[in-house]
Structure 1
Amino acid sequence: MAWCLECHRHPENFLRPEDQVFNLDWKPEDVKPAEFVAKYSQPSDAREDFSKKKKLTQAEIGQTLKERWNITPPQNCQGCHR
């Protein structure tokens, strides 16, 4: 249950592009920043242009996907235990 709560509280630490969900070897460094930004944009509060970076971090990728996909997981017991 601790893993579930960690992901629900901080989903950006675990999100990846949907085409990489089943790729167990995926790493944030594998993402090509320009292609990622073209497909998903970037967070509205980003202070720099992600497409010009050499590499993206998990935090940058996760925050982008969390915002883009409007991910707001429940953090209370009733979210899973109804």
Structure 2
Amino acid sequence: MVVGVALVVVPVYLVVLVGYGASPRTTDVGYAPEQPVPYSHALHVGQLGLDCRYCHNTVEVAAKAAIPPTQTCMNCHARVRATSPKLISVRESYATGMPIPWVRVHDLPDYVYFDHSAHVRRGVGCVSCHGRVDTMEVVRQVEPLSMGWCLDCHRNPEPHLRPPELVTSMDWVPPEKPEVYGRRLREQLGVRPSTDCWTCHR
């Protein structure tokens, strides 16, 4: 009886697991969900020069890059464009204390462990995974975020490395060939990415 149930449940579970892991929400380049507030990274990051860490303030110290609380928006918008109709949801959130229901763009499946701080503190630039968000009106996924894509970087991280203090610089260019400069940085920073399964599947 137990074996019969297992023979039915396990294959169904595996199909659902693989299906979700390969769904557009987790792997499709170009995924750009509509957000509850029309926030332009091109304006805030590209034109105004906001650093990624102003809003995503846990990225250097935690696994998750925090989605900003409404107070972060209101630090400026209590005075700047305070009556804009585009900010109605922000003002309502601030008045009620209810969070804005932002839709995560880069949303890995629950069975994948990813630590932002481990990457950022070792000099992997935001642009390597998220693309040039400073030019995006609507943030979209620019990389597949698949296991193979991650492993490619873990096996050859040099092209993605930069001085850790420059990780949020969208237009940074290495002073020499990325592979050569990255090799030197890899040695200096002690970057040793693991390719063991347990690194991401805990």
TM-score, normalising length: structure 2: 0.26
Q: Which has the larger radius of gyration?
A: 2
In the alignment, which of 1, 10, 22 is matched to residue 168 of structure 2? Answer: 22
2:200 matched residue in structure 1: 80
| TM superposition shift of 1:26 | 1.0
Letter in 1 for 2:172: W
For 1:10 and 1:68, how far apart are their aligned partners in 2? Answer: 16
For 2:168 and 2:186, how far apart are their aligned partners in 1? Answer: 18
In the alignment, which of 177, 183, 196 is matched to residue 57 of structure 1? Answer: 177
1:4 matched residue in structure 2: 150
| TM superposition shift of 1:3 | 2.5
For 2:178 and 2:169, how far apart are their aligned partners in 1? Answer: 15
For 1:69 and 1:18, how far apart are their aligned partners in 2? Answer: 9
Structure 2 residue runs of 5 or longer lacking an equivalent are 1-146
TM-score, normalising length: structure 1: 0.61
Higher relative contact order structure (alpha carbons within 8 Å, sequence separation ≥ 6): 1
| TM superposition shift of 1:18 | 1.4
